[in-house]
């Protein structure tokens, strides 16, 4: 599920949540049997099997057994009886994305994991993807594509990219319809409840994503045709409140989520900064700082974004964020490098030297160490 | 990058991208960057790499040697193809070395490829104070693991740079010596 698809699906959120609140019944199907290879569904599975072999070997796959098992367990609790058929792969790509292929291969991208605040929010996205899988939407769409004589073109695209690229292409080629997104969301809410998660967290994922979209230049959702029918803030809030009132409760497991992802968060933040999408990153990081104001890595990351954008007063904002990170303690060593680079630019030689020394003391083998050492030599002259 | 990788061979096959031999000897890139070549290179003339000149030994799927000469303040190092939603990569004449390295890193990873800085050090380039960059890149389009090296310097507010990358197994080692020699020979004309 790419971010835009999730947002598009979110447009239908009010309707589906209202339906769920009204007690719309959905029965979980029996486990999906592997289709015969000679059938079109069998061919689709075979294609996905080949992609999965590549994904398993891909250098983009995050191979940490503990984190993998943790996310796999979330997917299993949502998928219940379908657990043995769901195989989660964590993919190191700093974008909001998750998807599930018809053969049970599920990708969860690190950009999504950075953006969710708790287990329940991740469960909302994973549950939605399992919803597509259980409803066999990919097969429906394959038939639709074939009926439009676009299948050859699709296959041509599919053969040209690597594993992760293939799945991204697949997602775009198999863009689900609005009705399919509604159905997947509805199933996702049912799965969340079944696993004991608070479904209201699904709406928060949507709210958080909208913050980033709105921050992007030209990203006003009201001017985007895709959002033309999305419910107003008030309507959405009322719908979520109504759902919470009809079926209150459920856990979000925020503490467990934060603990499990803590060892990876700095790398995910660095990847986010490197995207160079300053406005989106600032919206994301400001939200994370408001949510968790004692985490120095968020201040460091936002400082890096400000320093990279280097607009009017951005360097002042960067300095303030670096100082906040240092004030909190346990800051990433690169905080001192960022600080030193700005101090050097502003001819504050003594402060710059001190910052660079602290950086090199903490990271003596830093890849940019030779450059920083040359700055120190120049500052000493 | 993925689109460029897909489009370039198609353009070549269709005869839309001219290939020019760059003969050994002294050659001028743009107006002010002069380099001396020990061996011949192939220059691929494609619009979607400008303002870089694109050279290759083995073919652009394998190795790419990008040369930038006289990039002006505010000028993009890579075209956005008229797509306003795409991020632009504009050089600023007051950029510090780490910012220039970050600019090129952003350009190389705009398709989701994964960049790892291996070394950033001060080195003269073109007869000017400059810096040298070593990096590893995992190409998103095909998961190929590349090694890369770049040299950069700024003269009169204009950026001069060369950037070479190739699969780390075999091809990078095969040609990086020539690239290093070209970097040592480079002169930026005043």
Q: How far apart are alpha carbons A262 and A173 in whole angstroms? A: 35
Domain that holds residue A308: 268-380
List the single best residue of B2, B89, B143, B151 to mutate versus A (max A Cβ within 10 A). Answer: B143
> Which one has a higher pLDDT value, A121 or A22?
A121
Q: Average the pLDDT over A263-276 and give the result.
A: 93
Q: How far apart are alpha carbons A185 and A202 in whole angstroms? A: 9
Q: Are residues A234 and A274 in the same domain?
A: no
What pLDDT digit, counting tens, does each position of A25-66 carry?
Answer: 788 999 999 999 998 889 888 989 999 999 999 999 999 999
CB contacts, 8 Å: A218 with chain B: 84-85
pLDDT at position A238 is 53
Q: Are residues A196 and A339 in the same domain?
A: no
CB contacts, 8 Å: B105 with chain A: 274
pLDDT at position B2 is 46
For residues A131 and A188, the answer to whether their CB atoms sit within 8 Å is yes
Does residue A329 have a pLDDT over 80? yes
Q: How far apart are alpha carbons B55 and B43 in whole angstroms? A: 4
CATH classification of the domain holding B48: 3.40.1000.10
List the single best residue of A59, A89, A159, A165 to mutate versus B (max B Cβ within 10 A). Answer: A165
Q: Are residues A223 and A317 in the same domain?
A: no
Q: Which residue of A has its CA nearest to B109?
A: A275
Contact A95 B112 (CB under 8 A): yes
CB contacts, 8 Å: B115 with chain A: 274
Does residue A161 have a pLDDT over 50? no
Question: Nearest-CA distance from A266 to chain B in Å?
Answer: 15
CATH classification of the domain holding A314: 1.25.40.10
Contact B106 A310 (CB under 8 A): no
Helix, strand, or coil (residue B186): coil
Residue B26 contacts A, CB cutoff 8 Å: no
pLDDT at position B85 is 56
Among candidates A92, A276, A308 on the partner chain, residue whose Cβ is nearest the Cβ of B114: A92
Residue A374 contacts B, CB cutoff 8 Å: yes
Q: Are residues A86 and A173 in the same domain?
A: yes
Res. A19 pLDDT band, cuts 50 70 90: very low
Q: Are residues A239 and A341 in the same domain?
A: no
DSSP sequence for A238-286: HHHHHHHHHS---B--HHHHHHHHHHHHHHHHHHHHHT--HHHHHHHHH
Contact B118 A370 (CB under 8 A): no
Res. A175 pLDDT band, cuts 50 70 90: low
Residues in CB range of A153: below 8 A, 6 or more apart: none
Q: How far apart are alpha carbons A194 and A127 in whole angstroms? A: 11
Which strand ranges, in their side-by-side order, compose the sheet holding B187-188?
Answer: B25-29, B33-37, B187-188
Q: Which of A165-169, A186-190, B39-43 has the lowest mean pLDDT?
A: A165-169
| Full pLDDT tens readout for chain B, 190 residues | 444 444 455 445 444 568 999 999 999 999 999 999 999 999 998 777 788 899 999 999 899 999 999 999 999 998 776 665 566 788 999 999 999 999 999 899 888 899 999 999 999 999 999 999 999 999 988 889 999 999 999 999 999 999 999 999 889 999 999 999 999 999 999 8
Contact A161 B119 (CB under 8 A): no
Please tell me the pTM assigned to this model.
Answer: 0.85
List the single best residue of B104, B122, B150, B153 to mutate versus A (max A Cβ within 10 A). Answer: B122
Question: Nearest-CA distance from B103 to chain A in Å?
Answer: 9
For residues A317 and A338, the answer to whether their CB atoms sit within 8 Å is no
Q: Are residues A233 and A366 in the same domain?
A: no
Among candidates B121, B134, B143 on the partner chain, residue whose Cβ is nearest the Cβ of A162: B143
CA torsion B58-B63-B66-B67 (nearest 10°) is -50
Residues in CB range of B3: below 8 A, 6 or more apart: B111
Does residue A151 have a pLDDT over 60? no
pLDDT at position A242 is 59
Contact B120 A368 (CB under 8 A): yes
CA torsion A110-A279-A200-A109 (nearest 10°) is -10
Q: Are residues A29 and A170 in the same domain?
A: yes
pLDDT at position B18 is 86
What pLDDT digit, counting tens, does each position of A79-98 carry?
Answer: 999 999 999 999 999 989 89
Q: Are residues A192 and A302 in the same domain?
A: no
Total tally of structural domains belonging to chain A: 2
pLDDT at position A222 is 55
Question: Nearest-CA distance from B140 to chain A in Å?
Answer: 6
Q: Which of A271-280, A344-353, B126-135 has the lowest mean pLDDT?
A: A271-280
Residue B83 contacts A, CB cutoff 8 Å: no
CB contacts, 8 Å: A58 with chain B: 143
Q: Which residue of B has its CA nearest to A275?
A: B106
pLDDT at position A243 is 60
Res. A3 pLDDT band, cuts 50 70 90: low
pLDDT at position B110 is 84
Does residue A162 have a pLDDT over 80? no
CB contacts, 8 Å: B100 with chain A: none
pLDDT at position A339 is 98
Q: How many CA atoms lie within 13 A of B87 on its CB side?
A: 21
**How far are the Cα atoms of A18, A233, A243, B6 from residue A204, in angstroms, in the given order?**
16, 12, 13, 38
Q: Are residues A73 and A164 in the same domain?
A: yes
Q: Are residues A105 and A232 in the same domain?
A: yes
Q: What are the two backbone dihedrals, phi and then psi, of residue A14, each rounded to the nearest 5 degrees?
A: -55, -45
Does residue A270 have a pLDDT over 80? yes
The neighbouring-strand residues paired with B151 are B132, B162
Identify the CA nearest to B81 among candidates B141, B7, B152, B18. B7
Identify the CA nearest to A244 among candidates A20, A11, A6, A8. A20
B15 in the Ramachandran plot: left (φ > 0), alpha (ψ -120 to 50) or beta?
Answer: left
Q: How far apart are alpha carbons A227 and B146 in whole angstroms? A: 40
Contact A162 B141 (CB under 8 A): yes
Identify the CA nearest to A352 among candidates A367, A366, A337. A337
Domain that holds residue B28: 2-188
Q: Is residue A255 part of a domain?
A: no
Q: Are residues A155 and A288 in the same domain?
A: no
Does residue A228 have a pLDDT over 50? no
Does residue A308 have a pLDDT over 50? yes
Percent of chain A with pLDDT over 70: 77
Contact B92 A310 (CB under 8 A): yes
Q: Is residue A361 part of a domain?
A: yes
Identify the CA nearest to A239 among candidates A48, A16, A5. A16
CB contacts, 8 Å: B138 with chain A: 59-60
Q: Is residue A257 part of a domain?
A: no
ipTM: 0.86
Residue A58 contacts B, CB cutoff 8 Å: yes
Across the A/B interface, how many CB contacts are shorter than 8 Å? 75
pLDDT at position A11 is 42
The single residue listed with the structure tokens 């497991």 is A253
Does residue A157 have a pLDDT over 60? no
Q: How far apart are alpha carbons B87 and B66 in whole angstroms? A: 20
Please, what's the b/e burial string for A102-123 (b: 16 or more CB within 10 A of its CB; e: otherwise)? bbbbbbbbbbbbbbbbbbbbbb
pLDDT at position A206 is 81
Q: Are residues A101 and A241 in the same domain?
A: yes
Total tally of structural domains belonging to chain B: 1
């Amino acid at each position: 599920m790419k971010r835009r698809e999730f947002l598009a699906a979110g447009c239908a959120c009010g309707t589906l949540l209202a339906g769920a609140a009204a007690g719309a019944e959905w029965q979980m199907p029996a486990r999906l049997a592997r289709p015969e290879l000679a059938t079109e569904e069998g061919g689709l599975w075979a294609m996905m099997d080949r992609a999965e072999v590549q994904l398993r070997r891909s250098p983009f796959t995050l191979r940490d057994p503990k984190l993998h098992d943790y996310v796999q367990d979330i997917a299993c609790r949502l998928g219940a009886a379908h657990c043995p058929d769901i195989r989660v792969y964590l993919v190191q790509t700093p974008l909001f994305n998750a998807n599930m292929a018809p053969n049970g291969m599920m990708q969860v991208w690190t950009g999504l994991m950075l953006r969710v605040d708790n287990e329940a929010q991740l469960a909302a996205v994973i549950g939605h993807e399992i919803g597509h899988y259980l409803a066999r939407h990919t097969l429906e769409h394959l038939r639709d594509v074939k009926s439009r004589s676009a299948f050859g073109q699709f296959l041509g695209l599919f053969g040209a990219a690597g594993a992760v690229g293939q799945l991204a292409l697949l997602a775009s080629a198999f863009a689900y319809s609005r009705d399919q997104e509604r159905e997947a969301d509805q199933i996702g809410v049912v799965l969340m409840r079944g696993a004991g998660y608070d479904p209201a967290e699904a709406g928060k994922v949507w709210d958080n994503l909208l913050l980033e979209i709105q921050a992007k230049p030209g990203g006003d959702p009201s001017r985007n045709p895709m959002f033309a029918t999305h419910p107003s803030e008030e309507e959405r809030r009322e719908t979520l409140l109504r759902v919470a009132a009809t079926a209150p409760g459920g856990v979000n497991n925020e503490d467990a989520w934060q603990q499990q992802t803590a060892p990876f968060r700095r790398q995910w933040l660095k990847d986010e900064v490197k995207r160079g999408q300053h406005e989106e990153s600032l919206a994301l990081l400001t939200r994370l700082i408001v949510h968790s104001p004692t985490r120095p890595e968020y201040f460091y990351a936002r400082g890096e974004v400000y320093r990279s954008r280097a607009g009017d007063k951005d360097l002042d904002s960067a300095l303030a964020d670096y100082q906040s990170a240092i004030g909190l303690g346990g800051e990433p060593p690169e905080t001192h490098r960022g600080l030193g680079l700005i101090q050097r630019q502003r001819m504050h030689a003594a402060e710059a030297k001190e910052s660079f020394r602290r950086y090199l003391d903490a990271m003596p083998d830093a890849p940019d160490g030779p450059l920083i050492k040359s700055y120190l030599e120049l500052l000493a002259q | 990058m993925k689109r460029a990788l897909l489009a370039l061979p198609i353009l070549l096959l269709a005869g839309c991208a001219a290939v020019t031999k760059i003969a050994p000897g002294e050659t001028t890139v743009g107006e002010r960057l002069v380099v001396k070549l020990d061996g011949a290179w192939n220059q691929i003339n494609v619009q979607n790499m400008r303002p870089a000149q694109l050279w290759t030994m083995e073919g652009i799927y394998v190795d790419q040697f990008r040369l930038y000469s006289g990039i002006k303040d505010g000028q993009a190092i890579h075209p956005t193809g008229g797509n306003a939603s795409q991020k632009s990569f504009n050089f600023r004449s007051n950029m510090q070395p780490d910012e220039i390295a970050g600019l090129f890193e952003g350009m190389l990873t705009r398709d989701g490829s994964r960049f790892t800085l291996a070394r950033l050090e001060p080195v003269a380039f073109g007869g000017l104070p400059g810096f040298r960059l070593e990096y590893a890149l995992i190409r998103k389009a095909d998961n190929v693991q590349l090694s890369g090296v770049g040299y950069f310097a700024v003269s009169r507010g204009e950026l001069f740079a060369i950037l070479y990358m190739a699969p780390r197994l075999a091809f990078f080692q095969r040609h990086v010596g020539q690239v290093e020699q070209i970097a040592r020979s480079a002169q930026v004309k005043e």
